[in-house]
Amino acid sequence: MADAVVNKSFLFYGKVPITPEILRFLHPSEQLQFCVKTFRDVAAFTDKRILIVDRQGITGKKVEYFSVPYRSIVTYAIETAGTLDLDAEIKLVLSGGIVLELNFFKDKENQMEELLFQVYDLITQYVLQ
């Protein structure tokens, strides 16, 4: 996994309530598990996929929406933060060789480590179904 090229990287800060922007993209058959805040955006984890809102440009008016069905995850890895590291990460390799890196910013209360493992456990649950 160490040699994989990162196609897209996102930095998560913490859990947030669901936004109207995310609600618009949820299918009625999906169950929302939780949402997390990225630098300018939000990501939603459902029982079927990961949905990431990625604002682009200076104004953020251009928006790209990433939908990653769990069934498209070929392999994944977790890297916890060491003493001097500022973040931990989950790397997802998708079918087609696309690599997504989900980074979790380290904080003093270890809430991000808790979120890191919650995301990892959720991915594991749905990938293994």
Give tens-digit pLDDT for 14-40: 889 998 889 999 999 999 999 998 877
Looking up residue 102, the CATH number of its domain turns out to be 2.30.29.50
How many independent structural domains does the chain possess? Answer: 1
Residue 63 · residue 57 · CB < 8 Å: no
Q: Is pLDDT above 90 for 114?
A: no
Q: Is position 99 within any domain?
A: yes
Q: Is position 2 within any domain?
A: no
pTM, two decimal places: 0.86
Q: Is position 69 within any domain?
A: yes
Q: Is position 111 within any domain?
A: yes
Q: Is pLDDT above 60 for 4?
A: no
Q: Is position 28 within any domain?
A: yes
Give tens-digit pLDDT for 30-67: 999 999 988 778 899 999 999 998 888 777 788 888 99
Q: How confident is the model at residue 3 (pLDDT cuts 50, 70, 90)?
A: low
Q: Is position 1 within any domain?
A: no
Please report, in angstroms and rounded to a whole number, the separation of the first and last CA atoms in the chain. Answer: 23
The domain of 54 spans: 8-127
Q: Is position 110 within any domain?
A: yes
Q: Is position 3 within any domain?
A: no
Q: Average per-residue pLDDT in the chain?
A: 87
Give tens-digit pLDDT for 76-104: 999 987 766 677 899 999 998 899 999 98
